[in-house]
């Protein structure tokens, strides 16, 4: 299942990925407008989620590739 998704992702350009990010951002804005109590979470918890969800893509894109270039 994920293999076919990975093949389809390879066809996307940087602009396509940027548009996906913008659509997620605006969907989040709409959700916060509908449910304002979502913003009542404490900021340390939100920062923890940001770090947890961003760790793998950050590692895979920046760190893992730089180690391959060194070898």
* Contact (Cβ atoms closer than 8 angstroms) between residue 13 and residue 20: no
pLDDT at 27: 94
* Contact (Cβ atoms closer than 8 angstroms) between residue 40 and residue 33: no
- pTM for the whole structure: 0.61
pLDDT at 69: 56
| Annotated domain spans of the chain | 1-40, 41-71
Residue spans of the chain under pLDDT 50? none
pLDDT in tens, 22-36: 999 999 999 989 988
The token pair at 60 is 């895979």
């Amino acid at each position: 299942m994920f293999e076919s998704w990975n093949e389809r992702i390879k066809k996307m350009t940087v602009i396509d990925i940027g548009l996906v990010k913008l659509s997620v951002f605006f969907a989040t804005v709409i959700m916060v407008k509908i449910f304002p109590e979502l913003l009542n979470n404490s900021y340390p918890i939100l920062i923890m989620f940001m770090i947890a969800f961003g760790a793998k893509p950050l590692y895979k894109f920046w760190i893992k590739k730089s180690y391959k270039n060194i070898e």
